Amino acid sequence: MSGEADFLRRLKAMVTDPAARGLADDAAVMLTRGHQLVLTSDTMVEGVHFRPDDPPDTVGWKLGAVNLSDLAAKGAVPSGCLLSYTLRANDTAWDREFLGGLGRCLKRFGMNLIGGDTVTAPQGAPRVLGLTAIGEVPAGQIIPSRAGARQGDKLYVSGPIGDAGAGLALLAEGKKAPGELVRAYRVPQPHVTMGQAIALKAHAMMDVSDGLLIDAWRMAEESRCALEITHVPLSEHYEAIHGDSIEARMAAATAGDDYVLLVALDGKREPPHGLIEVGQFKRGEGISIKLGGKRVRVPDKLGYEHG
């Protein structure tokens, strides 16, 4: 059992409040004064979730965006957020640019900064940045979780897969083009409006943060279904440098940082505009892959795992 899995197992043993949803989802839900509050929290660590040479304004944007993506997956309207920030001595320029990027993201999606905390780290320690985001959903409206997919449901994503992973790989090689791929990694765009539009129709919904395969597998596991992946949609920018082979699609499907929505919908109904079918839920358990009519071996590593 990995370090994260063991830690989560111990946390789940402590959970009694139904708002926590058994820690099986990416957000907590509280009912208060006629509406439901959706709460989510994400932490980014320098050298793990962002590169030390990433422009600080893009780091600020990304911290806001990854939290907004979790709200999008619940169909929530962004409301407020709390910032946890690590200061470094004599680094006010980095702090200023970070806040500029974060502020632009919050303004773009209508989320207000309402509090938080700052600490000063020892010299040379990596930055640890956290945001807790709050969204609202009307009382009585079902909030989709990562569980709830049913046999016969189809699985969809709200955009192409693999661009951010390709952008990160380019930066690791000292390259900055195609710029669209680098921007996908540094400045993700959460699908907030789409999440609100399709939440009422979704049997299950989450965002793709750790990789299409691993997040789809998590949805299937929580829903107690088997899942067959049949398509990995790629952007023209990704295909321009990696092609559209099965190998290229598998690399994209395990890369992570996509922040598109992953949605299970009734397989007998026409999906909302903008969604791309990537698989189908079936009876049983586990995940299988069939691309271009060919069976593909499920890789040992499905995506990014924390610890």
Please report whether residue 305 resides in a domain: no
Q: Give the lowest-confidence range in 15-29, 105-119, 231-245, 284-298.
A: 15-29
pLDDT of residue 91: 84
Q: In this structure, are 191 and 110 located in the same domain?
A: no
CATH of the domain at 54: 3.30.1330.10
38-60 core/surface letters (b: 16 or more CB in 10 A; e: else): bbbbbebebeebbbeebbbbbbb
Please report whether residue 94 resides in a domain: yes
Q: In this structure, are 86 and 203 located in the same domain?
A: no
Please say which residue of 138, 162, 196 terminates a domain. Answer: 138
Please say which residue of 110, 138, 166 terminates a domain. Answer: 138
Overall number of domains in the chain = 2
- Considering only residues 219 and 121, tell me which one the structure prediction assigns the higher pLDDT: 219
Is residue 212 pLDDT above 80, yes or no?
yes
Q: In this structure, are 95 and 165 located in the same domain?
A: no
Task: Compute the average pLDDT of residues 83-104.
Answer: 91
pLDDT of residue 1: 53
Q: In this structure, are 160 and 290 located in the same domain?
A: yes
CATH of the domain at 199: 3.90.650.10
pLDDT of residue 163: 98
Task: Compute the average pLDDT of residues 96-111.
Answer: 95
Please say which residue of 87, 107, 138 terminates a domain. Answer: 138
Please report whether residue 196 resides in a domain: yes
Please report whether residue 86 resides in a domain: yes
Q: In this structure, are 116 and 18 located in the same domain?
A: yes
pLDDT of residue 29: 79
Please report whether residue 35 resides in a domain: yes
Please report whether residue 144 resides in a domain: no
Task: Compute the average pLDDT of residues 104-128.
Answer: 91
Q: In this structure, are 74 and 167 located in the same domain?
A: no
Q: Take residue 105 and report the two structure tokens written for it.
A: 């993201």
Is residue 116 pLDDT above 90, yes or no?
no
Is residue 126 pLDDT above 80, yes or no?
yes
If you average pLDDT over every residue of the chain, what do you get?
93
Q: In this structure, are 108 and 223 located in the same domain?
A: no
Is residue 2 pLDDT above 70, yes or no?
no
Is residue 167 pLDDT above 90, yes or no?
yes
- pLDDT > 70: percent of the chain: 95
Task: Compute the average pLDDT of residues 236-248.
Answer: 97
The boundaries of the domain holding residue 100 are: 3-138
Q: In this structure, are 44 and 103 located in the same domain?
A: yes
